[in-house]
Amino acid sequence: MMEQILKNFFLFLSKNQGLNKAAKKWGLRFGAKRVVAGETIAEAIRGVRELNQKGLVCTLDHLGEFVFSVEEANESADYCMKTIEAIYESKVDCNLSLKMTQLGLDISRDLCVGNMRRILDTAKRCGNIFVRIDMEDYAHNQVTLEILHELLEDYDNVGTVIQAYLYKSENDVESVKDKKGNLRLVKGAYKESPEVAYPAKIDVDENYKKIIKQHLQNGNYAAIATHDDAIIAYVKQLEKEMGFSRDQFEFQMLYGIRPQSQLDLAKEGYKMRVYVPYGNDWYGYFMRRLAERPANVAFVIKGLFSR
Ligand SMILES: Cc1cc2nc3c(=O)[nH]c(=O)nc-3n(C[C@H](O)[C@H](O)[C@H](O)COP(=O)(O)OP(=O)(O)OC[C@H]3O[C@@H](n4cnc5c(N)ncnc54)[C@H](O)[C@@H]3O)c2cc1C
């Protein structure tokens, strides 16, 4: 009960634009350093290199929320391209994750698709680096999938994310079946209405297992992004029972969360990709992480009293 209240509270805070704006000036505070790799590309690449040295691969995410103007959207796309170039030049083992709203989806679909094409062309030129479109809230879900399908006509280095809490997830997984869809599968991080999403965790977990199996059986690549030991055990069991190759899937976890489990999976020979966010727009991301695990509020309180 208390956990649910805190969860809703942090999700509510994550949408506060005033605090988001203020946080950009604060620098990484309140323990955000534990889950955000730094504010600059150089800091982010340094973080990625350290993780690579430990046997982990990465995906970089330049944090950005509340994009309201064409200039902001283009600037954000430029930053994604700079990140791709930095990945390529530094030869780190890393790809890119980004959000459609960051590229101007709320302003115009064409603006967003145009920015996405610029990014994918840059990624192609830089050794065909893979670009993952993170999935946002339900309001952006269908349009994101439509954009993905449009991009798949011209590019093979793009994929998106399917959220198991949505009733439509099974259909969405099926829609990429014949397109060699490379999907990240997650439980889902936003607060959604029971009209579109399973309200009970147990149902989300069951549907998550279902779509993991479905996508692997369809013969497509799955990035299984979870910190949940029960789901990880389920995937290992599927691997054994159904003979899926380790080339067909990878695990993913967020930077700073369950770092020992990340290392353990890599040592067991699994591909383990760490999602590494960076940039000064860290506030919304940080609040969503706290919502996932309100117990982590302890490190915020600690952060309040440390520099
Ligand atoms: C790489 C990656 C990318 C993601 N991309 C998206 C996306 O594009 N769109 C989207 O909606 N969601 C995304 N998510 C978030 C995801 O939807 C879940 O909200 C999040 O992963 C928590 O669910 P879980 O599977 O880890 O399991 P949960 O059921 O939340 O947790 C299971 C167990 O994992 C551990 N755990 C979970 N979270 C934490 C934490 N913060 N700190 C410490 N331990 C923890 C705890 O032991 C917990 O009991 C992403 C997650 C990851 C890992």
CB atoms within 10 A of CB 197: 21
Instruction: Pick the atom of ligand 1 nearest to 97's CA.
Output: 8
β-pairing, 183-186 vs 57-62, is: unpaired
Task: Tell me the domain boundaries of the chain.
Answer: 37-278
Provide the annotated active-site residues: 134, 184
CA of 118 to the centre of ligand 1 (A): 30
Q: How many angstroms separate the CA atoms of 53 and 55, rounded?
A: 5
The phi and psi torsions of 257 (rounded to 5 degrees) equal -110, 125
CB 90 within 8 A of CB 127: no
- Round to whole Å and give the CA distance between 87 and 105: 25
Cβ contact 41:67 at 8 Å: no
Selection from 135, 132, 211 nearest residue 174 by Cα: 211
Task: Determine whether the shortest distance from the Cβ of 253 to ligand 1 is under 6 A.
Answer: yes
Q: Report pLDDT for 300.
A: 59
- pLDDT at residue 274 in the model: 98
Average pLDDT score over the chain: 91
Q: Which atom of ligand 1 approaches the CA of 161 most closely?
A: 8
Predicted confidence (pLDDT) per residue in 137-158, tens digit: 999 999 999 999 999 999 999 9
* pLDDT reported for residue 65: 72
- Taking only the tens place, the pLDDT of each residue in 241-256 is 999 999 999 999 999 9
Other CB atoms within a 10 A radius of the CB of residue 19 amount to 14
Q: Name the class of domain 37-278.
A: alpha beta
Looking at residue 301, its pLDDT comes to: 56
Q: What is the DSSP letter of 235?
A: H
175 Cα–ligand 1 center, Å: 24
CA atoms within 13 A of residue 62's CA, in its CB half-sphere? 23
pTM of the predicted model as reported, rounded to 2 decimal places: 0.92
The predicted structure's pLDDT at residue 4: 79
d(CA 65, CA 15): 9
Ligand 1 center to 59 CA (angstroms): 16
With a 6 A CB cut-off, is 275 part of the ligand 1 pocket? yes
Span 170-178, mean pLDDT?
Answer: 95
Q: Is 163 in the pocket of ligand 1 (CB under 6 A)?
A: yes
Distance CA 85, CA 107 (A): 26
The verdict on the CB of residue 257 being under 6 Å from ligand 1 is yes
Please give the pLDDT value at position 3.
75
Strand partners, 272: 251
